[in-house]
Chains A and B, each alone.
Chain A
Amino acid sequence: DGGITQSPKYLFRKEGQNVTLSCEQNLNHDAMYWYRQDPGQGLRLIYYSQIVNDFQKGDIAEGYSVSREKKESFPLTVTSAQKNPTAFYLCASSIGTSTVRQQFFGPGTRLTVL
C-alpha cells in the first residue's frame, strides 16, 4: 500500500520536554510538509522540504525543527521553546515536479501538553 504514515497517533508531553513526530511516505514524492491545525482553524505551514537535505521555514517555524536525511522521511521535533504546542499535526507530501502539485496528507498526530 502506498501512502503516508504518521506516528504516534496520540502524544502526551510534559512541559519542558522535546518530542519528535514521525512522518514516512512510500509514494516517492519529492516534497514533504508539516502543518499545524488548531480547533476551528485552517492549516498553518510549519516547515517544508522540496529535496533531501534541504528544508525551508513556513509561517510558524518558531519552536520547531526538522530534518530530511532520506527522501521518504521528514520528522518534526517540537521543542520546549514552542509556547502552545497542543494541536493536531499533519504531514503531507507532493510530487515536486507535477504542474498541479496536489498534496496528500497522513492521518495526523494529536499532541497534548500536560
Chain B
Amino acid sequence: QKEVEQNSGPLSVPEGAIASLNCTYSDRGSQSFFWYRQYSGKSPELIMFIYSNGDKEDGRFTAQLNKASQYVSLLIRDSQPSDSATYLCAVRAQYGNKLVFGAGTILRVKS
C-alpha cells in the first residue's frame, strides 16, 4: 500500500462546477497535510495546508481533513480553466520535516 494515494485522473469538470480531489494516507501519526498545484513543466505551488480535523476555507478552495478515516480532500468551487493542473497531496509525519507526496490528480476544467 502506498503511503499517500490519489486517483490519477484525469478528473474533468465543466467551468463553474465544483471539483473534488481526494487523498488517503496510511500513517495515523501524520500531522500536517498539504495541497500543491503543479502546472505542466513548472514546480509545485502551495495552495493550502490543514492540520486540524474539519474544514479550512481560502477563497474558492476548501480543504477537508478526517484523521479517523485518514482522508483529506480539496474542493475547488467555481472551477476555472486556469485551475487545470495536477494537484499533489503531501503529508508530514508526526516527527521530522519530511513530506510524502502522492502521485497527483490531473484536473481538467472545460469551458
The chain A residues found within 8 Å of chain B, CB to CB, are 31, 33, 35, 40-45, 48, 50, 58, 90, 94, 96, 99-108
Interface set, chain B 63-102, CB cutoff 8 A to A = 88, 90, 92, 97-99, 101-102
Please indicate the chain A residues that have their CB under 8 angstroms from the CB of B101 in the complex: 35, 42-44
Interface set, chain B 24-78, CB cutoff 8 A to A = 32, 34, 42-46, 49, 51
Residues A108 and B103 in contact in the complex (CB < 8 Å), given A58-B98, A100-B32, A101-B97 = no
Question: How long is the Cα–Cα vector from A44 to B88 in the complex, in angstroms?
Answer: 12
B14 vs chain A, min Cβ distance (A)? 25
A107 in contact with B44 (CB, 8 Å): no
Residues A105 and B49 in contact in the complex (CB < 8 Å), given A40-B103, A42-B103, A42-B104 = no
B43 in contact with A106 (CB, 8 Å): yes
Please indicate the chain A residues that have their CB under 8 angstroms from the CB of B92 in the complex: 101
The chain B residues found within 8 Å of chain A, CB to CB, are 4, 8, 32, 34, 42-46, 49, 51, 88, 90, 92, 97-99, 101-104
B32 in contact with A104 (CB, 8 Å): no
A sample of 12 inter-chain contacts (CB < 8 A) reads: A42-B88, A42-B104, A43-B88, A43-B90, A44-B101, A50-B97, A58-B98, A99-B51, A102-B46, A103-B46, A103-B90, A105-B44
Please indicate the chain B residues that have their CB under 8 angstroms from the CB of A96 in the complex: 97
B98 in contact with A48 (CB, 8 Å): yes
Which 8 A-B residue pairs are closest in the complex by CB-CB distance? A42-B101, A105-B43, A42-B103, A43-B101, A108-B43, A31-B97, A100-B32, A105-B44
B65 vs chain A, min Cβ distance (A)? 13
Question: How long is the Cα–Cα vector from A16 to B8 in the complex, in angstroms?
Answer: 35
Q: Knowing that A33-B97, A41-B103, A44-B101 touch, tell me 9 more A-B residue pairs with CB under 8 angstroms.
A: A31-B97, A40-B8, A41-B104, A42-B103, A100-B32, A102-B34, A103-B34, A103-B90, A103-B99
Question: How long is the Cα–Cα vector from A48 to B44 in the complex, in angstroms?
Answer: 17
Residues A100 and B49 in contact in the complex (CB < 8 Å), given A45-B98, A48-B97, A108-B43 = yes
